[in-house]
Amino acid sequence: MVVIVVAFVLGAAALGERRSVPIVRPCTRAIMVDSRLWCDEEVPAEVAALCPAPGPEAHEPIAAGDAFDTSRLCARSFASPDAPGRGQSDGQSDGQSHGQSHGWSRMSPDDLAALQQPVDLNRASIAELTSLPRIGPALARRIVQGRPYDDVESLVRVRGIGPATVARLRGRAFVRPSVAVP
């Protein structure tokens, strides 16, 4: 389990000063909902659970590292952030705006790294891939160009990634199993 330090700024009443006080919170699966961190048992299984009835009809699963703006999300019928036309399934963009206008996006790469959230090698944007240890923009582009991957170990076929880098990535990188379309 990863321990996350979430810093809150508290006002010092006597002096009117602001100081950071770290609050330790264990969290292995994190999402952001309306700019608030939800961890583990707080994370619903499906996106429809974030909206009051009638809400969206889809029963899309929530992935660790997803971010939601419920005012936008609940006002529409939706598709997941990596559905065609809704995000960056090609991984080519910077990752900052994918799906945001629809209320469903991904956390920023900095948040993904700080919270140690998993990243899908076949679906992540270049920016998301740079949240992984020892992966810069050039290596992230090569990872995108080498898609699809069957497993994390397949990364050794990417120039610049060897067994030691794969070992470092194993805790954060994953490959979502393919779903056969009938």
CA torsion through residues 161, 163, 164, 165, sign: positive
Q: Tell me if the domain spanning 3-174 has CATH number 1.10.150.320.
A: yes
Q: Tokens at residue 63, please?
A: 């992935």
- 87: which DSSP letter? S
Helix (H, G, I), strand (E, B) or coil at 12: strand
Q: Are 80 and 104 in contact (CB under 8 A)?
A: yes
Residue 177's contacts (CB-CB under 8 Å, 6 or more residues apart) are none
Q: Please enumerate in sequence order all residues whose Cβ is within 8 A of that of 115, keeping only pairs 6 or more positions apart, or say none.
A: 2, 4, 27, 30, 37, 65, 107
Q: What pLDDT does residue 98 have?
A: 40
pTM of the model: 0.70
* Model confidence band, residue 163 (pLDDT cutoffs 50, 70, 90): very high
Which of 86, 76, 82 is CA-nearest to residue 61?
82
Residue spans of the domains in the chain: they are 3-174
At 80-132, the pLDDT tens digits run: 555 543 444 444 444 443 455 688 899 999 999 999 999 999 999 999 999 99
- pLDDT digits 0-9 by tens, 22-57: 444 568 899 999 999 999 999 998 888 888 765 555
